[in-house]
Structures are given as C-alpha cells and as structure tokens.
Amino acid sequence: MTSDPFLFLPQALLAWFDEHARDLPWRAASPGRRDPYRVWVSEVLLQQTQVVRGKVYFERFLTAFPDVAALATAPIEAVLKAWEGCGYYARARHLHRAAQVVVRDGFPQNYEEWLALPGIGPYTAAAITSIAYGEERAVNDGNVRRVLSRLHAEKEPGELWVQARADELLFRADPGRWNEALMDLGATVCTPKSPRCGVCPLSSFCQARKSGRPGDFPTPKRRAPVQAWPAVALLIGDAHAAYLEIRQGGLLGGLSGLPTEPVEDGDEQGALERLLGRLGARHARLLGTVSHTMTHRQVTLRVYEAQADLPRQAIQAHALSRLDHKALSLTRQAQTALFEM
C-alpha cells in the first residue's frame, strides 16, 4: 500500500481536463507544441482580465498583430488602440518593447530567458515555457493557490508554500497540460465561492472538503482600501473630434484623453479654473459626472464642455481609457436629448 495520498491525483485531473477543458482561442489545435507568441499574448492578457473578455481582446489583438514581427514594427499608438478597453495598459507597452527584443534576438528558449523580457514575471515565464516548450515549470496563480490550499487544508498559503506544493505536484511528463488543467479546475470547479465539490475530480483527495467547509480555504487576502480621486475634465469639441492630451504615468501612460485636473480639498471650482487657465478655455458648462474604478482608485470625474482655440483630434483614431469614453458619452447623451426635444 502506498503512503503517497496524491499518487492517483494526476490521472484523475488530466482525465477530467481531457473532457472539460475550456475552448479558448489560444488553445487552437496544432501539431506539436503551441505557438509561443499566442501563448505569450494570452498569458499577458489574462494577468488582469477575465477569460470571457480576454477571448474577445485576444482575437482583436491577433487580428491587428498576427505575429511578433507585426507587433514589434507597429507604432505604440496602434498597439494601445488594439488594447483599448482592456485596461492595465503597461501590459501593452511591455508587450511592444519585448516584441522588439524578440525580433532582434529571437524567441527565448527557456524560463530564465523569458523572465528577462520586459513585463514577464515568474508566473508568466512558467506558463509560457511549460505550455509552449514543455519545460518542467509549475505555475502559481490565484486558481492554483486556491486548489492547493484546499487540497492541503491550508488556510493561509504563502507564495513560497504554494510554489513548493505546485512544484511537488507537477506532472513532469506533460507540464503544460498539467498547468492548464489545474488552472481550469480552479476557474470552473474549485471556485472562490460555492466550490462544486460534487463534480470535482479531486474531491477524494481534498482535505478541505473532508473538513466540511471547503469555502473557508484559503482565508481571503486583505484588500487595499479604495481611494477616492475626484477630478474635473474639459471637453473641447464633441464626441467625434476633441482636443486630447497624452496621459502620463504607469496606469494610463501613453493613452490619449480629455484634459483633466485633480480636485484638491474639495475645491472643484479651483480645479476647473486651473484647467481653464492652462488651456486658455472659456465658457465652461457642466455636462455631468462619471465614475470609474481603476486598481485601488475610485475616480469621480466632473465633465465640462468649453470653448478654446485648440486643435481637435478624431476620437476613433486614438486609444482612450474607459473613463474617457464614459466622459464622451455624456455629450452623446446631451445631443440625443436635444434632438428628441
């Protein structure tokens, strides 16, 4: 009799995966190992994007840039436009920079080489190299953390603990397929709330299920408090063509957007006057208010329209954040209401 409680676990999980694997565009069937470019783009997309939305963005991005050479030679503005709406735009900037390195030096061939590229961390490097090259690397993401926490009934699994357990459990004969199976299980069955233990292929191995309270594992991580960020914006133009500025900073850097000024100490009028003065604008009129959550920031934007002798750019030609698209929707709503009067 064996003392290894997980001896038959790989067989159970991979059999389940063969039947229930998610139909995802980056998993398109092809002979041999997967295309590293498609795997790379998909993994970067899924870092901060849900799979349902990620599928749409992936198809759009691959249509615009079907291979790494197309991505590397494209202007960054075109890359950001293809990424528009996906958020966390530093991912797109890193992809673009890394693609230029790949075109110059060739595709990385192992974990360490992938890790050296811009925007590639340990999880992404492990996912790419295991799936595209068959390298024996265990991934460690939120889904894997949850599955392993429940298998071992560990309420507070630290990063080192999770990686060690993932390394121990890795099915080395087919690491890419194993990693995808483990992540699919966490995404579709071993979910954060109301895990579907009755259909889980690993239920007989699971210590959390035996405890009778699998949903208690792992203990939820503390989230950073959301900070309020009030601001005013000026629309000089209309929903089709307006004066735009290039955003700075890591969050929205490189995107175009309406001129914006933060509100300090609740003084909206002061922020508006600073913005009008900077642009030489006049006759400000409030259009409305929009809000949007970005990372741990809750932005409340008071949008004004004004007049100024400034050049206007076609909105459709530029990559804008969701916040700016919400702001522009106010003028569309106002125009519709005026037309219907």
pLDDT at site 33: 64
pLDDT in tens, 3-28: 688 999 999 999 999 999 999 999 96
pLDDT at site 31: 44
Segment 238-245 mean pLDDT: 96
Bridging pattern class, strands 256-257 and 245-246: antiparallel
- Cα–Cα distance, 188 to 191 (Å, whole number): 6
| 239: pLDDT strictly greater than 50 | yes
- Cα–Cα distance, 8 to 239 (Å, whole number): 60
Segment 182-204 mean pLDDT: 97
Q: What predicted TM-score, i.e. pTM, was given to this entire model?
A: 0.89
- Cα–Cα distance, 157 to 208 (Å, whole number): 13
Contact 44, 91 (CB under 8 A): yes
* Per-residue tokens: 111: 């974990």
In angstroms, the first-to-last Cα distance of the chain is 82
Segment 262-277 mean pLDDT: 97
Segment 96-104 mean pLDDT: 98
Q: What angle do CA 143, 144, 148 make, to 5 degrees?
A: 120
Segment 68-81 mean pLDDT: 97
* Per-residue tokens: 38: 């498609």
Confidence class of residue 40 from pLDDT cuts 50, 70 and 90? very high
Q: What is the greatest pairwise CA distance in the chain?
A: 84
| 313: pLDDT strictly greater than 60 | yes
Q: Which domains does the chain have, with CATH numbers?
A: 9-216 (1.10.340.30), 227-340 (3.90.79.10)
| 310: pLDDT strictly greater than 70 | yes
Confidence class of residue 296 from pLDDT cuts 50, 70 and 90? confident
Average pLDDT, the chain: 93
pLDDT at site 250: 73
pLDDT at site 249: 78
Confidence class of residue 338 from pLDDT cuts 50, 70 and 90? very low
pLDDT at site 251: 72
Catalytic residue among 19, 43, 59, 156: 43
Segment 267-277 mean pLDDT: 98
pLDDT at site 155: 97
DSSP state of 235: E
pLDDT in tens, 119-148: 999 999 999 999 999 999 999 999 999 999
Residue type at 103 in one-letter notation? V
Residue 340 designated active-site:
no
pLDDT at site 252: 84
Segment 170-174 mean pLDDT: 97
Segment 187-198 mean pLDDT: 96
Share of the chain above pLDDT 90, in %: 86
pLDDT at site 29: 56
Segment 50-59 mean pLDDT: 94
Strand partners, 232: 261, 302
Bridging pattern class, strands 241-242 and 245-246: unpaired
